Chain A
Amino acid sequence: MTGLAQLTRHRLFWPIVALVVLLLASTLKSHTFLEITVRDGHLYGAPIDIVRRSSITLLVALGMTLVIATRGIDLSVGAVMAIAGAVTLTQIASSPDPGAISTVALAMLTGLAVCLAIGVFNGFLVAVLGIQPIIATLVIMTAGRGIAMLITGGQITTVTSAPYKTLASGYWLGLPVAALIAGFFFAAVAFVTRRTALGVLIESVGINPTASRLAGVRARTIIWTVYVLCALFACIAGFLQSSNIMAADSNNAGLFIELDAILAVVIGGTSLAGGKFSLTGTLVGVLVLTTLTLSITVLGIPVNAVSLFKALVVIVVCLLQSPVVQHKLRARRRQAAPVPVEVPA
């Protein structure tokens, strides 16, 4: 088999092609698209913007990747983001000194605690009660925004707090803080899953939970853990999002983020059926989705059509990755082999 053929079979080939095409098209339209300039000691430019805007989705998608690898799914992440914002900002707003770092830290800790509790709850439903993940997390997805509104009293809570604003709008070493936070957690998860045995144990539980349990793997604990982690990352994403607008908007915070995150994971080549996962793939998936949104404005496509455009890209990438098309592409190069229909021997 030729090198090219092998390359096109790589699961990240088409997503990366999509990313490159989007970047190229944008650059052709606006020649300065890929330029990075330094202003006030900060880096500016579309690439930086892409990275900064990716941070929220990346955080959510990170947890989602782990959950999906265990055959699960977490629909509650958007609601968790809303709750994180609601809890934290309500506490900051009600404190006498919203600008103090200690106030912000304490409020964020409260937010974290609440979100962790939700993660524990989701994990309990899935790992202990054995409820299907999609429906177990639908509970918080439905109730969560109600709870967030309950906390904020149905208002959009706004605050003025310099330390909290830094999370989304600040720069450190010339780079956006939000991107650094997301990058840090990405690196941490990548390091932990590949340097310890967590990654392979998650995969083994995702591929065959019963066999994993009998092999002595703490399947239940691992499943529980990934839901807690997912809620944790959603919580941090919620901090970034609320810091971005300096308000807790229970209705719109993280709306549809679960869909974007799941899409990113799938585009990145992790199967919804669980098992093998790729964090790099998820990163590529997130970048594709963010670049897509940004390119649309650059390319002069009406903002209204964002969703349409997204649908087309998703459909094309998913079609190209689908087993049937992959097989056809391969068959064109080689002698046709019979399609093995899945029938257990």
Chain B
Amino acid sequence: MATDEITVKAAGKRPEPRLTGSVGRRRPTLDRRYLPVLGTLVVLALMLIIGGARYENFLTGRVMANLLINNSFLIVLAVGMTFVILTGGIDLSVGAVVALSTCLSAWMFLHGWPAYVTIPAAVLVGTLIGWVIGVMVHVFEIQPFIATLAAMFLARGLCYVIAPESIPITDPTIVKLSETRWGTDNGLVITPSGLIALAVVVIAFVTLHYTRFGRTVYAIGGSEQSARLMGLPVARTKVLVYVISGTCAGLGGLLFAIFARSGYSLTGVGMELDAIAAVVIGGTLLTGGSGFVLGSVLGVLVLGLIQTIITFEGTLSSWWTKIVIGALLLIFVILQRLLIVRRR
């Protein structure tokens, strides 16, 4: 119990008038909050070492660059998901919103809309769905799980309506975006999508750690009740995290459209689970209030590396990806649990 510190003094000699905190219980130099992320970092390093030792051409600029480029949309999704999970919510709609965003952009290009209208529209459709979710969760007090589930059906349904069949994207801007590569000859390249993903990460980091909104996100995750009684703008913040997640999903959809150069209604089935898995593996607690956006990025990279290693291995069947991800999830969840138990 936390109170014994002072009780001890009370019973012994009269304490000094100044109240000091828990001096006797100096915290270890490393903040516990960073431990899960460090765990992820260790796993990532181990995978790189093992991969590097087993396969030639593994630790090359090309492979690492591809890891970032191929997962850029998932990074964006995981960043948005981190906001939601930090408040203690969950967003199951992101996979369907990615599909909606790609379908919408493909459909708009097909019908001759210019890129400067289509690209913002593809992102904003996510924003709009996020806002609808926020309103359902906040105003109508529908549980996030159900509200985002409904939004998932909604988005998926809209996909089938606007793009029953795959629509190829031939718009020059998208083609250019998907073909542009900056970098060196040894394969260390970056694409516009990769840059966008990195920019999103930086913006998210600054938002979470250097704005009042960001701190309110953490406070709500710690205790929504307290946040409300502390006079923080809980309502606005809760709606906003879903708007952010939706916007990220819309942007993720755009990146996917650039990646796949087509719009198809079955895109991104189950992608929300990848995003959630990445966030959890990245050390964010699903109960909210604890975690880092950089952790989520590491989580995505771990997921991507599993895929890469299995590809390199060649003989391993694709289903091992799922099994390994499941096993990793299990390990991380148990480790986090042990950390919490030890803190008590």
Contacts and interface: CB of A to CB of B under 8 A. Distances in A.
A298 interface: no
Contact of A135 (B139, B160, B161, B280): B280
Contacts of B317: 149-150, 154
Contact of B157 (A262, A273, A308, A325): A308
B300 to A, nearest CB: 15
16 contacts: A73-B145, A125-B333, A129-B337, A138-B280, A139-B326, A141-B273, A145-B322, A146-B319, A146-B322, A154-B319, A263-B149, A304-B161, A305-B157, A308-B156, A314-B150, A315-B150
Interface stretch (A32-40, A91-99, A197-205, A316-324): A316-324
Majority SS of interface residues in chain B? helix
Interface string B112-127: 0000000000000000
A131 interface: yes
A143 B327 contact: yes
Contact of A146 (B143, B280, B320, B333): B320
Contact of B161 (A129, A139, A305, A343): A305
Interface string B62-105: 00000000000000000000000000001010000000000000
A307 interface: yes
A130 interface: yes
A259 interface: yes
Nearest to A325: B140
Nearest to A147: B323
Interface of A: 73, 125, 129-132, 134-136, 138-147, 149-150, 154, 250, 259, 262-263, 266, 272-273, 302, 304-312, 314-315, 318-319, 322-325, 342-344
B339 interface: no
Give me the 4 closest cross-chain CB pairs, A-B, nearest first.
A143-B326, A308-B157, A146-B322, A307-B157
B330 A139 contact: yes
B151 interface: yes
A237 B321 CA distance: 26
B153 A307 contact: yes
Contacts of A266: 143, 146
A310 B153 contact: yes
Nearest to A133: B286
Contact of A272 (B136, B145, B154): B145
A55 B317 CA distance: 34
A318 B326 contact: no
A319 B142 contact: yes
B141 interface: yes
Contacts of B241: none
B160 A142 contact: no
A139 B333 contact: yes
A142 B325 contact: yes
